[in-house]
């Protein structure tokens, strides 16, 4: 009775066609490769992504400078000057 499950488990790869057996055998390795590839892609950054991040940082700094300028303005003319200085390029 005990020999039947062991024998059937041993014969299954022999009974399957070569294509199916190779897919069953290589599936775990492909899954690991995909996970590794995704992890490497998530940790690397392309040049365009670096440029986008730099652009966001510069824009954020510029908005912060504009806000500080408006907060420090004493009158309408100074506020207008701040708006003209920081809104012209955006």
SS3 per-residue string spanning the chain: CCHHHHHHHHHHHHHCCHHHHHHHHHHHHHHHHHHHHHHHHHHCCCHHHHHHHHHHHHHHHHHHHHHHHHHHCCCHHHHHHHHHHHHCCC
The reported pLDDT for the residue numbered 56 is 95
pLDDT in tens, 18-41: 555 566 666 666 766 676 677 666
| Rg for the chain, CA atoms, rounded | 32
pLDDT in tens, 40-80: 666 777 888 889 999 999 999 999 999 999 899 899 999 99
Q: Where in the chain are the domains?
A: 1-44, 49-90
For residue 5, pLDDT beyond 80? no
């Amino acid at each position: 009775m005990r020999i039947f499950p062991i024998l059937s488990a041993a014969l299954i790869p022999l009974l399957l066609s070569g294509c199916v057996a190779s897919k069953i055998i290589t599936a775990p390795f492909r899954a690991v490769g995909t996970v590794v590839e995704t992890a490497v892609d998530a940790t690397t950054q392309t040049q365009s992504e670096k440029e986008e991040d730099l652009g966001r940082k510069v824009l954020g700094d510029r908005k912060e400078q504009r806000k500080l300028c408006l907060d420090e303005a004493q009158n309408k003319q100074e506020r207008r000057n701040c708006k003209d200085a920081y809104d012209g390029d955006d």
